[in-house]
Amino acid sequence: MAAKAGDNPDSLMTLATIFCLRNLRKTMCYQGFRNKLCLRSDIFLPSEICDKLVNTYMELVHTDSNFEPEESFFQLFSDPRSTRLTRVQLREDFIRDRDLEAIKKQDLIELHLTYCNSLSSHSLKSLISLRETLVSLCLFGCNHIFDRKGGAPLACNEDTEDEEEESPASRQALETDFNFQGFNRLSCST
């Protein structure tokens, strides 16, 4: 039967992706040590599938109230020998430092982080790990990624460790939205 104009049925890839995400332990994963989600050893997923899994996962987390997020989902992508990510869009408070830590070995080309307020300055180390391959980085509304432990922006008194009384001018808000093309041209001394 022909679809009516305006009807856009989901592709087989989309349906299969959603099925796998809803049934991770029955399809491509098992429950490992400390209930950690682990990818089966006989599975290799190319970037087209991994990107689709992560981006669809983020959609389900934010749009489907019946979908239960997996605490260790991003650990599935920690080994680039079995999973490949290239273009990822992560958003909102669901994303934590440990999630970026898990995917830092991937050869990401594009990374978009939107309103990821649970990310701290520890995530900058993970972003530095991506500098060789990352071409596009977008940080939009990630309010705490440039903060130090005490909550002060990294640009304020970076070289002092003591918690002195800061002047109101030094506590001014930093611009937290950041877009950059050509990350691989940057060098970083670690």
Query: Across residues 144-170, what is the average pLDDT?
Result: 53
> Residue 71: left if φ>0, alpha if ψ -120 to 50, beta else—which one?
alpha
What is the overall mean pLDDT for the chain?
Answer: 81
Query: Across residues 111-140, what is the average pLDDT?
Result: 94
Per DSSP, the residues of 8-59 read -PPPHHHHHHHHHHHTHHHHTEEE-GGG-EEE-TT--B-HHHHHHHHHHHHH
In angstroms, the CA 93 to CA 135 distance is 24
* Residue 84, pLDDT score: 96
Judged against a pLDDT cut of 90, whether residue 176 lies above it is answered with no
In angstroms, the CA 54 to CA 51 distance is 5
Range from 6-15, 72-81, 171-180 that averages highest in pLDDT: 72-81
pLDDT band at 143 (very low <50, low <70, confident <90, very high): confident
User: Between residues 146 and 20, which one has the greater pLDDT?
Assistant: 20
* Each residue's pLDDT tens digit, 78-104: 999 999 999 999 999 889 999 999 999
The answer to whether 89 and 112 are in contact (CB under 8 A) is yes
* Residue 173, pLDDT score: 47
pTM more than 0.85: no
- CB atoms closer than 10 angstroms to residue 30: 13
* Each residue's pLDDT tens digit, 38-70: 998 889 999 999 999 999 999 999 999 999 999
